[in-house]
Chain A
Amino acid sequence: MHTEVPKNTKTKRPRTKKTLSLKQKEGLQGYIFISPWIIGFLCITAGPLLFSLYGSFTNYDVTSRMDFIGLSNYIKMVTNDDLFWISLGNTIYYVVISVPLTVFGAVLLAVLLNQGIPGLRIFRTIYYLPTVLSGVGVYLLWMQLLNPTTGLVNTMLSWIGIQGPAWLLDPNWTKPALIFMKFWSLGGGMLLYLASLQGVPKSLYEAAEIDGANAFKRFIHITLPMISPVIFFEFVTGIIGGFQVFQEAYVMTDNGDGGPANSLVFFNLHMWDKAFNVFDMGYAMAMSWVLFIIILILTLINLKLAPRWVHYQGGDQK
């Protein structure tokens, strides 16, 4: 539909229309160009956002009812839904371990790759590869890799004399299993850090070396500050993404049943169940707003803390 828009602008452009100044005309065209986004924003983002905010105060079930019930959904969530707390706990567990671990691993990998070793391009390709692989096929692969007896992971562990856990079958190990799987695709972050590291002037390291700073000190005082904006970016997006973990848990437990002892009931999995299995949409929308607010608060905290540790070169970030 929007592809028609530019054609209209052509007909609107005739010079006879003297009422609009050149600047206003330009402005109008600007709005025409971004109009697909404006329409999309209103119809598939802002509108739904408001609907779900209102819906969260109702007992909406798609088909018949939509009565205003005040804070009931939120009260029920906090006081009368054990799975809500379990799902929140599972999700926080996942985020708290997975995000820092992946950031740490990716930084370490990028630093190693940046030591002027031969074959950088090949290594970069190999390490980035898992990031490209996603979807059901990868989850099925990992279900097999994590098989307690015949899987590759425990086979490899047995080579170094470690008896591997039962991973997806043991409630204590299901989340580490998913964190492990996520860690496999640390190459995405690695690429960003590597790009950023390659922009660090060599002279900085040379100067520090002359001043007698050892490798560790150079890492802490030069490397880390220089790549801190990327770490910040990865950290913020990692938290936002981590709180929304869904697909892997859905596919790797039989159609989202939550795994052994509900250990893989993540927030979104519980929300999905409420919305599309039980059709308690009002409640699910209330849950989605709780998640939104958690993410919002964490992002604001991150932005607030950023000036303390994120070092921007030149100051102007645009």
Chain B
Amino acid sequence: MSKEANYFQSVKVKKRIKQTIILIVLILGAILILSPVWWMLATSFKSMTEAMQYPPTLWPHKWHFENYIETWKAAPFTRYLLNTIFITFFVVLGNVLANTFIAYGFSKIQFKGRNVLFAIVLATMMIPGFVTMIPQYVVFSKLGWLNTYFPLIVPAFFGNAFFIFLLRQFFMTIPNEMIEAAKIDGGNHFYIWSRIVVPLSKPAIATVAIFSFNGAWNDFLGPLLYVNSEKLYTLQIGLSVFKGQVSTQWNYLMAGSLLVLLPVLVLFFIFQRYFIEGMNITAGTKG
């Protein structure tokens, strides 16, 4: 009997040791993962000489809060910010409207060819962006849309394969009986979409909104291709131009980078749940 107790005791101890080792590894890993973010923050507050100093300091000698104001003034960042907000707003709006609409069609209405068309939706995820980029550029230039925001905004209103997939996945969990009941009450599909399915799908829609916000906010390639004049620059383009202007002033560059990343960071901490939920919808269907 005591032998058995000993056995369990030793298993317990072993387990505890294992857990402790794993915890230490994970903490070290977390420090490594976070260190670049700390570095960015610390550098952004350093003086220029300290930012270039060797060996580098991990904690600024003196915190230069004015770096942020000077950075913001060094380039028309306010303009870039307003431009980016404008584009992002319409991209998110387009993505939420179009993709909920399309996904509703693919999940709640029976029609001929639905499965084939949905397979095509999924297959389009495999097409490299650069294949369609050149012809799109040609079309948009023929439409006179170069140096406007149309090429960045309009496509968002025509659906995105990944978002359609994600929303369809979610809509399928809404019981069809609810749809049928609404139909009997005389509701048409548009009514059901706007009054039942969309309000019930807030978490999934939030996921789509957040992902598309991040996509639009961080988009570099689109504005690089379609926007030429400086007054239309977005934050991403502005930041890359800024890099050329202040090439060695790393404190300013890091302050600028951090300011550009800030909305994304804030959004992440507030809506973390939706990021994780979105990923889980993907994982749940794959595994």
A-side residues, CB < 8 A to B, are: 1-3, 6, 9-10, 13, 23, 26-34, 36-41, 43-45, 47-49, 51-52, 55, 62, 109, 112-113, 115-118, 123-130, 132-138, 140-142, 144-145, 149-152, 155-156, 184, 187-188, 191-193, 195-196, 199, 226-227, 229-230, 232-233, 240, 243-244, 246-247, 250-251, 254, 268, 271-272, 275-276, 281, 284-285, 288-289, 291-292, 295-296, 299, 317
Contacts and interface: CB of A to CB of B under 8 A. Distances in A.
Contacts of A141: 36, 39-40, 254, 257
Contacts of A156: 35
Contact of B126 (A43, A138, A240): A240
A43 B157 CA distance: 12
B135 A144 contact: no
B282 to A, nearest CB: 6
Contacts of B220: 135-136, 247, 250-251
Interface in B221-247: 221, 225, 236, 239-240, 243-244
Interface string B234-273: 0010011001100000100110111011001100100010
B265 to A, nearest CB: 7
B6 interface: no
B286 A192 contact: yes
B190 A10 contact: yes
Contact of A195 (B138, B218, B280): B280
Given A34-B106, A52-B131, A229-B287, A127 B279 contact: no
B200 interface: no
B10 interface: no
Contact of A288 (B35, B134, B214): B134
A30 B111 contact: yes
Nearest to B188: A13
A128 B219 CA distance: 20
Given A36-B159, A123-B30, A27 B111 contact: yes
A195 B257 contact: no
Q: Please name the 7 residue pairs, one residue from A and one from B, whose CB atoms are nearest each other, closest first.
A: A40-B158, A33-B105, A30-B111, A137-B257, A48-B135, A135-B218, A30-B109
Q: Which of B22, B97, B124, B257 has the most CB of A within 10 A?
A: B257
Interface in B130-188: 130-139, 141, 155, 157-159, 164, 188
B79 interface: no
Contacts of A296: 126
A128 B257 contact: no
A275 to B, nearest CB: 5
A49 B258 contact: no
Nearest to A254: B244
Given A133-B261, A135-B239, A281-B134, 15 more contacts: A29-B105, A36-B102, A40-B159, A118-B23, A126-B33, A128-B276, A129-B33, A130-B33, A134-B218, A136-B243, A140-B254, A152-B35, A191-B279, A230-B286, A288-B128
Given A229-B286, A244-B129, A117 B23 contact: yes
B37 interface: yes
Contact of B26 (A3, A112, A151, A254): A112
Contact of B188 (A9, A127, A130, A226): A9
B134 A55 contact: yes
B189 A191 contact: no
Interface string B103-137: 01110011110100100110011111111111111
A115 B23 CA distance: 10
B2 interface: no
Contacts of A187: 33
A118 B126 CA distance: 39
